[in-house]
A and B are shown apart, each in its own frame.
Chain A
Amino acid sequence: MKKLRRRIFATAGSNTISLGTGRKEFHPKKPRPGLEHYIKEAGQGALAQINDADNIDEGVIGNFMAARFNRQGNLAAMMPMVDAKLEYKPLIRVEGACGSGGLAISTGAKSILAEMADTVLAIGVEVQNTVKAVYGADILGGAGYYAGQRKNGHAYFFPGKFSDRAGAAYEKYGYDKVREAMARWYERAVLNARECPKAQEHHNSTEDLFAAGMTPPNPKTFCEHINFYDCSKVSDGASAVILASEEGLD
């Protein structure tokens, strides 16, 4: 199929902050909001932009590994916490590692294309600061091939994979050039975050970001070819969007 047979619109987007180290609100030893809080905040933020939650035909929620990070399965059943009017509507949870939020959107789109729904509330949520990074790495490693690769993988499994790629890039283009490029990349990311009040790095006030990005990798404590700045931090947060057909948009 080359072309969608119906037009699909995305509207009423809503994001929570990305909470984690670096945000002023974050304190590792103090209690933090959980899944319920983020699902509600993002979902209600989207619904507030339309007249009535009763106008929603379906809900999809994307998440990776809440069963381990939060000891919570069956996340779709949490969607009516956003609005009681979602009760008894078709609700489904999807998972595909880092692509879980994207899957929520494409699953919603499928319902619309299949003419099963005119409006779908799609939410993505993660609360991963519940465990220390060393154990979080185990859980995130579940996105890889556990039986075949975990045992021989790096303690920080995915950073380990990216480290291998960085190592290959050093070989091909030279260490200095690649290191500088990655440091610049980090600098850009934080500069962008400073423009966005909800971004995790919004409060980052490091003067010389590029110098931080140039920190030489330390294989004793982390990976062989990348440093902490090359990696995104662990975050808690959620986003929601309403998908609609033309009829749904009305």
Chain B
Amino acid sequence: MDLDARLEKVAVLGAAGKMGSGIALLLAAEMAKQKIKPENKDRTYALHAIDVSDEALCGLVSYLRPQITKIAEKSIVALREAYKGREDLVENSDIITAFVDEAMSVVRPSSKLESTAGSRLIFEAIIENKDIKIDVLKKLDAICPDAYYLTNTSSIPITVLDEGVGLGGRIIGYHFYNPPAVQKLLELISSKSTLPEVVELGTELAGRLRKKVFLANDIAGFIGNGHFMRDILHATGEVARLSGELGEAGAVYAMNRVSQDYLIRPMGIFQLIDYVGVDVCRFIMQVMTEHIEGETLEDDLLDRMAEAGVMGGQYANGSQKDGILKYEGGRPAGVYDLEKGGYRLFADGDWTAKSDEKLGAMPEGNAAWRALLMDPKKEQKLATYFGNVASSDAFGAGLARTYLVRAKEIADKLVSDGVANSPEDVNGVMTNGFYHLYGPINEYAGLVAAA
């Protein structure tokens, strides 16, 4: 059965969740594009959007319509061509409305697993819990015997799911990044038993969804989280080291600045933890520890934060919840102080000034991430800047140097452990999925290591 045939009957599990809703959006648009082709007029398309929460499914429908409209608006040139034969559709607005209706008619929201019977492609994006995932997939396998499974798990090895359900290799890791409709990166994880035709089909589909695919091997955490989680541990280790002098909140503030401003990343490490969710990070570390021999990923700071109810994550509208950092208008405005049991605002008192003073002068040539993003002379400017980081005696520059060196070590190990097939794959995931301006395996790390 080829991709076109499989795309007639598709299911998304956890369709009302953060990832599931985005995946459902991409699929609804792709299936509608198939559906309107004249040669497919006799085919029926169904996208079963399954979630345990009925209430959330209502939200899914109201999310999908405006999002599909945006996709249609952007695809107007192609859609006009596709609808050439429809004399009744003249203006762009007629065509966009027709396409949106077509896509919405494909979507079948339901809280009943049984309605997926006969599905040929199943995207799994439910809660990150091995036992629940295995249990749900088992039930599905009984009613969708030919299906291929594409799981969005962030950390659980694909082999564990495959063997737990008994899928005989009909499963692949299909790791979208959040939000799936926007992020270009797709980490494709095949286990030793994943059937070659599943890899092939997954790759072909990724192309249609205009995703940039990077292959990862089946080791818990894969490339993206494999790097991110260890990066967190480096930052929190530095926080522990600096806490005596700066206080814990002051140290968190300092390391968030080092990871954002000094390394020129889109957001600081603690903001990124909040973006993903404190608990999600802890959970991924736990799963990695469970499946990776000889390495324990545990973080005392995250554990204490979680215990105090500091969670991060996002509201339904995508805005950031307070976590380790407090946010005002989407921007960090304070740090949670575990001793005090509340947020310390940047604006209150001189505690941030103390940390800034400790960091010292910013090395020359520093620029904001956003400013360099589109700069054609980006590489040259980064090289000059990191040259200055290498030679600066400011304390902050020293923290940036150790950070860069550690980030490269983590990346090198992902390659030597066989998680990634090449340094390019690690760099590709970090630049495309995390929007870093440069991959962790770079010449700057060598430059500063020499210093």
In the complex, which of the residues A132, A141, A151 has the most CB atoms of chain B within 10 Å of its own CB atom? A151
Q: Are A134 and B78 in contact (CB under 8 A)?
A: no
Could you tell me the distance between the alpha carbons of A219 and B80 in the complex, rounded to whole angstroms?
A: 13
* Chain A hits for B79, CB < 8 A: 155
Sorting the interface of chain B by its residue count into under 10, 10 to 19, 20 to 34 or 35 or more gives 10 to 19
Complex A-B: 8 CB contacts under 8 Å:
A134-B76, A134-B96, A135-B93, A137-B92, A151-B90, A155-B77, A221-B77, A222-B77
Interface membership of B91, Cβ < 8 A: yes
Q: Are A138 and B92 in contact (CB under 8 A)?
A: yes
Known A132-B73, A134-B96; judge A141-B78 contact (CB<8 A): no
Q: Are B76 and A155 in contact (CB under 8 A)?
A: yes
Interface membership of B87, Cβ < 8 A: yes
Could you tell me the distance between the alpha carbons of A146 and B91 in the complex, rounded to whole angstroms?
A: 9
Interface membership of A150, Cβ < 8 A: yes
A83 to B: closest C-beta gap in Å: 38
* Chain B hits for A222, CB < 8 A: 77
Tell me which residues from 70 to 90 in chain B have a Cβ below 8 Å from any Cβ of chain A. 73-74, 76-80, 84, 87, 90
Q: Are B77 and A138 in contact (CB under 8 A)?
A: no
Sorting the interface of chain A by its residue count into under 10, 10 to 19, 20 to 34 or 35 or more gives 10 to 19
Q: When each residue 85-115 of chain B gets 1 if its CB lies under 8 Å from chain A and 0 otherwise, what string results?
A: 0010011110010000000000000000000
Q: Are A138 and B73 in contact (CB under 8 A)?
A: no
Could you tell me the distance between the alpha carbons of A67 and B153 in the complex, rounded to whole angstroms?
A: 52
Q: Are B78 and A220 in contact (CB under 8 A)?
A: yes
In the complex, which of the residues B74, B78, B80, B92 has the most CB atoms of chain A within 10 Å of its own CB atom? B92
Q: Which residue of chain B has its CB nearest to the CB of A139?
A: B91
Known A155-B77, A219-B77, A222-B77; judge A134-B87 contact (CB<8 A): no
Could you tell me the distance between the alpha carbons of A221 and B80 in the complex, rounded to whole angstroms?
A: 12
B67 to A: closest C-beta gap in Å: 15
A135 to B: closest C-beta gap in Å: 6
Q: Which residue of chain A has its CB nearest to the CB of B73?
A: A134
A152 to B: closest C-beta gap in Å: 8
Contact residues of A: prevailing secondary structure: loop
Q: When each residue 127-150 of chain A gets 1 if its CB lies under 8 Å from chain B and 0 otherwise, what string results?
A: 000001011011001000010001
In the complex, which of the residues A134, A152, A154, A221 has the most CB atoms of chain B within 10 Å of its own CB atom? A134
Q: Are A150 and B77 in contact (CB under 8 A)?
A: no
B225 to A: closest C-beta gap in Å: 34
Q: Are B93 and A220 in contact (CB under 8 A)?
A: no
A25 to B: closest C-beta gap in Å: 21
A156 to B: closest C-beta gap in Å: 8
Could you tell me the distance between the alpha carbons of A221 and B96 in the complex, rounded to whole angstroms?
A: 15
Known A134-B96, A155-B80, A220-B78; judge A150-B91 contact (CB<8 A): yes
Q: Which 4 A-B pairs have the closest CB atoms?
A: A138-B91, A155-B76, A134-B73, A155-B80
Q: Are B92 and A151 in contact (CB under 8 A)?
A: no
Q: Which residue of chain B has its CB nearest to the CB of A135?
A: B93
Could you tell me the distance between the alpha carbons of A219 and B77 in the complex, rounded to whole angstroms?
A: 8
In the complex, which of the residues A138, A141, A154, A220 has the most CB atoms of chain B within 10 Å of its own CB atom? A138
Q: When each residue 48-88 of chain B gets 1 if its CB lies under 8 Å from chain A and 0 otherwise, what string results?
A: 00000000000000000000000001101111100010010
Could you tell me the distance between the alpha carbons of A23 and B74 in the complex, rounded to whole angstroms?
A: 24
B376 to A: closest C-beta gap in Å: 9
Q: Are A155 and B92 in contact (CB under 8 A)?
A: yes
In the complex, which of the residues B74, B91, B93 has the most CB atoms of chain A within 10 Å of its own CB atom? B91
* Chain A hits for B73, CB < 8 A: 132, 134
A234 to B: closest C-beta gap in Å: 15
Could you tell me the distance between the alpha carbons of A135 and B96 in the complex, rounded to whole angstroms?
A: 10
Q: A151-B87, A155-B76, A220-B77 are in contact. List 11 more A-B contacts (CB 8 A).
A: A135-B92, A138-B93, A141-B91, A151-B90, A154-B80, A155-B79, A155-B80, A155-B92, A219-B77, A221-B74, A221-B77
Could you tell me the distance between the alpha carbons of A231 and B91 in the complex, rounded to whole angstroms?
A: 21
* Chain A hits for B77, CB < 8 A: 154-155, 219-222
Q: Which residue of chain B has its CB nearest to the CB of A218?
A: B77
Could you tell me the distance between the alpha carbons of A137 and B87 in the complex, rounded to whole angstroms?
A: 19
Q: Are B76 and A150 in contact (CB under 8 A)?
A: no
Q: Which residue of chain B has its CB nearest to the CB of A133?
A: B73
Q: Are B93 and A150 in contact (CB under 8 A)?
A: no
B378 to A: closest C-beta gap in Å: 15
Q: Which residue of chain B has its CB nearest to the CB of A220?
A: B77
* Chain A hits for B76, CB < 8 A: 134, 155
Could you tell me the distance between the alpha carbons of A40 and B40 in the complex, rounded to whole angstroms?
A: 55
Could you tell me the distance between the alpha carbons of A152 and B91 in the complex, rounded to whole angstroms?
A: 10
* Chain A hits for B87, CB < 8 A: 151
Known A132-B73, A134-B73; judge A150-B80 contact (CB<8 A): no
Could you tell me the distance between the alpha carbons of A206 and B446 in the complex, rounded to whole angstroms?
A: 35
Q: Are A134 and B92 in contact (CB under 8 A)?
A: yes
Could you tell me the distance between the alpha carbons of A135 and B80 in the complex, rounded to whole angstroms?
A: 13
Could you tell me the distance between the alpha carbons of A137 and B96 in the complex, rounded to whole angstroms?
A: 13
Q: Are B96 and A150 in contact (CB under 8 A)?
A: no
* Chain A hits for B90, CB < 8 A: 146, 150-151
* Chain A hits for B91, CB < 8 A: 138, 141, 150
Could you tell me the distance between the alpha carbons of A137 and B93 in the complex, rounded to whole angstroms?
A: 10
* Chain A hits for B93, CB < 8 A: 135, 138
Q: Which residue of chain B has its CB nearest to the CB of A142?
A: B91
B423 to A: closest C-beta gap in Å: 32
B414 to A: closest C-beta gap in Å: 35
* Chain B hits for A137, CB < 8 A: 92
Q: Which residue of chain B has its CB nearest to the CB of A223?
A: B77
Q: Which residue of chain B has its CB nearest to the CB of A155?
A: B76
B91 to A: closest C-beta gap in Å: 4
Q: When each residue 49-78 of chain A gets 1 if its CB lies under 8 Å from chain B and 0 otherwise, what string results?
A: 000000000000000000000000000000
Q: Which residue of chain B has its CB nearest to the CB of A131?
A: B93
